[in-house]
Chain A
Amino acid sequence: MSDRLLDGLTSRRAGIALLAVTLCLPPFYLDAFWLRIGLFSMAAAIGAVGLALLTGTAGQLSLGHAFFLAVGAYGYVWLAGEPGPGLPPGLAALLAVLLAGAAGGLFSPVAGRVRGIYLGIATLALVFLGHHVLLTADSVTGGFNGRSVPPLTLGGFTFGAGDPELTVLGVPFGAEERLWFLGLALFAFTWFTARGLLRGRPGRALAALRDSETAAGVMGVDVARHRSAAFVVSSLYAGLAGVLLALAFRRVVPDYFSLALSVDYLAMIVIGGLGSVAGATAGAVFVTALPLLMTRYADQLPLVTAPGSAEGFVGPTEAARYLYGAAIVLVLLYAPDGLHGIVRRARDRVRLRRPRTPGTDPVTSPPQPAAAARSKEHTP
């Protein structure tokens, strides 16, 4: 039995190693367009994981995610830039993440009092407030035109073009290539910390809160503390995503951090599957990369004309929107539990088939503890 487990663990470890190697390769092949899509996806994934914790696991609807992303992004730009304290960028990034967490902490008394859709509306106010401040507080945010983002420097190494010039295996490493690895590292950090949280006691407590506060309270979960902690942690992840987004954009503008962005993040966690880290990641890639890729390649489809030509009915952007809309509908129709649900069901099916192969115990193996915990989290 333990042998089987070990067996599974090694193949699992090999899988992770393979995945890590594969994820390290794109900078060597793909051009800036693809790398930017990848960077945006990674940043979105980090932010979506935060929202998945808050909305998916703890059941607190938040439409204010764009605000916390903005706090992270602008916080970094202000702290590391001129005008501003001009701190070392590494420190500024850390402080920006903490600042976003603090913003979440300040809002958490509200989150402690209001529930469900009412909380959603309350957080909506944050987005509008934030957008207004971004436009008007010129000296900090640069107003409508935003501010350029100082590149991140860690120990003399700049995550930007040049300084020092870097060529790896004959491939010149510019800003996108370097940021890719930073994004991967931050994403890996998010992945493991968030999974640790979700699978540990805090995750169970939050899930219990979502299902019934009374029951959770009776079991000894400190309701108010956990609710506000969920908000703070979610804001911390949003802040981290904001910093990475700012670095990928190289210039932050207020119009990006609008209500539409918050809605996008909600779409990510719903499409991915509520309450799991992998689901949020899949949803983030789906929502971020798909429209960009479809817009880019829609002109290869039949009946789609080049943008701006007089004849024809649909341009690539329109076609991409139709396809994107259709994709969302299909996912929600055939996988109500999200992309993560599809994968889980496929895996279960494979697992059910496997015991029939000779040489294994005739008894169906009990589900691995991790999988059991996850599937429990998934029950809506």
Chain B
Amino acid sequence: MMTHVPPFRLPSGGRLIDRAFQVPFRFDGRHLRGLTGDTLASALLANGQMLMGRSFKYHRPRGPLASGAEEPNALFGLGQGGRFEPNQRATTTALANGMVMRSQNCWPSLDADVGSVNNWLAPFLPAGFYYKTFIHPRPFWKHVFEPIIRRSAGLGRAPTDPDPDRYEQAYGFADTVVVGGGIAGLTAARDAADKGGTVLVLEQTANWGGRTPTDHDGGQAAIDALLADLRGRDNVTLRRNTMATGLYDHGYLIAREALADHDPNAGLPRQRLWRIRAGHVITATGALERPLSFACNDVPGVMLASAARDFIADYGVAPGRRIVVVTNNDDAYRTALTALAAGLEVPAIIDARPQATGDLPDAARQAGITVLTGSAIAKVKGTRHVESVVICDQSGDGKPTQTIECDAVAMSGGWSPVVHLWSHCGGKLIWDDAQAMFRPDADRPPLGADGTGNVTVVGSANGDLRCAGDLERTEGATEPVWVMPAKAPYKLRAKMWLDFQNDVKVTDVELAAREGYASVEHTKRYTTLGMATDQGKLSNINGLAVLSGALNQPIQATGTTTFRPPYTPLTLATIAAEAKGDAFQPLRKTPMHDWHEKHGASWEPVGHWRRAYAYLRGTEDRHAAVHREIMAVRNGVGTLDASTLGKIIVKGPDAGRFMDMLYTNMMSTLAVGKCRYGLMCSENGFLMDDGVVARLSDDTWLCHTTTGGADRIHGHMEDWLQCEWWDWKVYTANVTEEYAQIAVAGPKARELLDRLPGSIDFSQDALPFMTWAEGDIAGIPARVFRISFSGELSYEIAVPASRGPELWEQLHNSGHDLNITPYGTEAMHIMRAEKGFIMIGDETDGTVIPQDLGLDWAISKKKADYIGKRAQRRSHMTDGNRWKLVGLESLDDNVLPDGAYAVDEGVNANGQRRVQGRVTSSYQSPTLGKPIAMGLVRHGPARMGQVLDFPMPSGEVMQARIVDPVFFDKEGGRLNG
């Protein structure tokens, strides 16, 4: 195969690439080749593709600005189908075989983008344009402006298919976690390891060393020596490709490890989210170079000096053939020297400082490079790529002194320490005037649980740019340059980009300041400075320096915006990891679940439980099945799986006293062997749960709760026992899952149960309504409660959970001729409503007290106290105008909608129709052959027979008559039978 050398690949160099292995990929349909070790950005640059994106607002052509995570421009849609991902950074994504990438925010193509018309409109689209323009006429916002703006908003497209890759989460623990695998981090890791304790080192890229191997002779050797040392230690773990994205309370650190990005056949999860508890965190996160603000600093070919150096030294790629360097510090001279050594031209170094002395400037001059001090770039010429730069004096207003032809500009505005992790959890910053940077204030670190600092910061992350160990050196001072040239007129300032992705310019920030946005947080939101996917990594310091200038105050008085996690975006898939599909949350199944499944159960989620809503037979729909089940119970016998009902044991010498506090009724007087329906209120007086209580023995009560309430009510009991009445001798135990419970209901329930062998007498005399008995049924130990939620003769039978299916089968095998029918939760709901029984969550919603529901009979008048008693004495709870429970009967044959409001005369202060009641439960009753409903109505029980109006959303009005809420068997003959 012929070796194809792309036009901008240098003949030698590139410490991270392997020239032996070519990697084919596709970019906007074109077939290109890169090398193993390339990033997408270096591979595209090697192919001469400098144009990599369009800016968000003005659609200006953009090339890569950086070589790392701070890149604002070179974002692509990557992959296909379910693996498609928008906004992937070309500078941090490793090139993989056959990769398919697509440019974003342009149409019809990157080269010919119609949206770039916005660029010509730029003078009319300043900061706050949308706020000022689209406010009138009012109705236009919703119907015209918003839909248009929504269509043009957003960067990249969301994928439409499910992600086929696997993601996982893991917990990590270490005495010391070092974030950053450069020379400062590795040195700190070695020192921490020397002291003992476990050390975990996280490096965001695939390569150790940070900038040191690129920037310093002997740098790679120093890194290799440190790595060899660390690898030989048992207490040190090194993890590459792991980005620490956020630091939270008490040393909780989140990191994302890329295990098999773009390699679906590796047999590994694609990414792993680490949730790490760190005893101590050392941030060695380095520093980011700042752009300089000169006119047209966004033309493709203008990039950070460090990025230009990286592309040449790390990837053997020329960012241009003729590179002008512009700087306010010594470090950028390295780029000039690196470029020269790679055989590229460097026509000039433009240094804004009045003089440049020291080793690096001297070396540049000795190499024959022209150094223009006190100089500035007035303007970059070229639209789709750099053609030349116009030079001027830094101190002046941009009057040209000369023009230099070039095809790339390497700029450096100094360095900003990466202080994100330090700041996430409360670490404070100070402004370092000498170095023109915010750096961590060692006296005000993030604090751990013990109140002492739990984060330290080392190396350039701490503002120490001298490198470390034997490589330590000093350089000439950085001179802050926030606008270039210093007295640039408006016309130039309006072309100086601060935030490249969101198109925020120097003049936008100045405008915000003029309009009164003095707070940096407000300016950020008004101009969108730093709000793009790069979160202002390059723009923030320059932006707030310009704001400070406009407000005529020192930078420290302006301060920074808040640094919030994540440092770089996390995919939602990593955050969700395995918690999806069946593993999204635990599913609770009753012992009879499989039987229900086999017999046509149509499931209903109730909390984490699955309950059968109805059992469908043949082609039946849910409605028909529910109707059939109810008729079977009312005329024969049915079984309900009631295992999900909460079952809590309350036991001890003070259990009776405690029960009297928990329930509104008197439970201490309940005789052994008897059952009583009870209500539980919150301390605020509202009804929170109900259920039947059985007294099992002298010192033991069994409390049934609602299905959803079991855990909550058990927690409520424990709260009062542990925190208020801790001297009372009471134990509680939640035994909900210990028992399978089956309700056998219907006029033929006794006949069925009598057929099973056993020791329990089911007769009316032996086991009357609201009693319970213990014994065995068909050889299974059982407790039988004669209670009824259906209004029928009913027995609820509790057996050990493992014996539940056996009893269920026995019942069904014995009752064919009685038409025994399993019934689901909907049949249960309707039958209880026919009887006027309330349902927690239907008749109650957290604002309803038992007195509203006509349950005064269940509230003890004799007890001095119970939870909620004091609250129920407040004036608004004893108010006679409270809405009270009634039955509602439609005047036509239609079922009232659940939640419908009954209107009253007149309107309230807001001009809304007054209301006087609402529907809480509403069904078509198969038993009665007509619709029934319950509701809460003002003075309801005193208004029997009156008709209420229920307006529907359609404008039509439904009418219903107030009736008794008990629709069926008012005398209770059936359940007492």
A binds B: no
